[in-house]
Amino acid sequence: MLHYRCKLLNMAKRKLSKQQKRRIDSQQKNKIKNELLQDNTSPLDESNTQTARVISHHGRQLFAETENLERIKCKIRQNLGDIACGDYVLIQQAQDTTGEAQNVVVAVKERTNLLVKTGFAGAIKPVAANIGQLVVVTALKPKPNPYLIDRYLTAAENLPAKALVIINKIDLIDFETKRIVDDLTRLYQNIGYDVISASMKQEAGLEEISDALSNTTSILVGLSGVGKSSIVKAILPREEIKIGETSEATGEGKHTTTVSAFYHLKDNGIIIDSPGVRDFTPINKSIDEISYGFIDVRQFNGGCKFSNCSHRNEPGCAMKQAVADGELDEQRFNNYLRMVDEFNEKDK
């Protein structure tokens, strides 16, 4: 009997020591994991990291695509700053408490550019990083807003990135809207931008769009409901994309896409279908950025009689003269002045 109890005790002891061992192991693993997740100022050992590109980002977690196109879920080390869809990140593996491998983003690589927007209460929110081309999507419904198009174009110039204008839903064309499409096309083509008229409903303009999106990373911007997701779906028929309903009452969409999505196209093209960006306001850091953003207006910079010309009432204004001579489009010039006014208002 005594012998048996001893045996039980011994077993308990062994069991205890096994449990202890597990606890110590897990504490050690946790330590590694926590060290990785915490802001670590010691130099990064890049030998056991891999590079991946962020395809979507939700709070402290993101999905990234490795160089061999494997999509992995990652935790993010603290204090890495803003991370956006399109960012290249360095990933290291750690083990979690259950011994399972976990990917941790330990650094964000230097970006070529970062598109930001102003969110609620003026907070600056990153939209996408390392963008080669901004595709400004407009449509016949909701109606094109040239001021918004110009705001996107100034954003593209300052990123810097190429810009392309797509006028979607031309199947809805009628006598009145035909003039809108023609005017927009002529205006932006004259300035030097590519303009593609398209209809996802009639599958018109698809090849032109596909060609324009090859060999670069593009982001689609434009009002909710213009058909950004429909364009992606049309050029990538096998991808599953949620297409939203357009509200018949207002002609506006319902902000169907809420998280940036990332798609591969033919010829190394990549497209990021951003959330509805109804409130997108490119953040101009200076009047110079606005002037630079209007590629047609900027060529008259420095040509006015007064070096501090506001281009409103002064004599010898090269810009007003250009408008009078038909060398500068009046609507673009007015949009430029309006953007300058809005910038100055903001600073008051």
Surface-to-core class of residue 278, CB atoms within 10 Å of its CB (0-12 exposed, 13-18 middle, 19+ buried): middle
Q: At its nearest, how many Å lie between ligand GTP and the CB of residue 141?
A: 7
User: Where do we find the tokens 């891999």?
Assistant: 50
Contact 261, 231 (CB under 8 A): no
E-only strand ranges, 109-156: 114-118, 124-129, 133-139
Q: Which residues pair with 204 in a beta bridge?
A: 199
155 binding Zn ion? (CB under 5 A)? no
Residue 311 binding partner per list Mg ion, ligand GTP, Zn ion, none, with a CB distance cut-off of 5 to 8 Å that depends on partner kind: Zn ion
Contacts of residue 181, Cβ cutoff 8 Å, sequence gap at least 6: 140, 167, 170, 173, 197
Q: At its nearest, how many Å lie between ligand GTP and the CB of residue 324?
A: 38
Q: Which two tokens stand for residue 276?
A: 């509805």
Q: At its nearest, how many Å lie between ligand GTP and the CB of residue 261?
A: 10
| Residue of the chain from 37, 231, 277, 317 that contacts Zn ion (CB under 5 A) | 317
The SS3 assignment for 13 reads helix
Q: At its nearest, how many Å lie between Zn ion and the CB of residue 269?
A: 41
Residues 282-311 touching Zn ion, rule: CB under 5 A, are 304, 309, 311
Interface residues toward Mg ion, by CB under 5 A: 228-229, 257
Interface residues toward ligand GTP, by CB under 6 A: 168-169, 171-172, 199-201, 224-230, 243-246, 253, 255-257, 276
Q: At its nearest, how many Å lie between ligand GTP and the CB of residue 204?
A: 8
Residue 317 binding partner per list ligand GTP, Mg ion, Zn ion, none, with a CB distance cut-off of 5 to 8 Å that depends on partner kind: Zn ion
Whole-angstrom distance, CA of residue 219 vs CA of residue 275:
11
Residue 226 binding partner per list Mg ion, ligand GTP, Zn ion, none, with a CB distance cut-off of 5 to 8 Å that depends on partner kind: ligand GTP
323 binding Zn ion? (CB under 5 A)? no
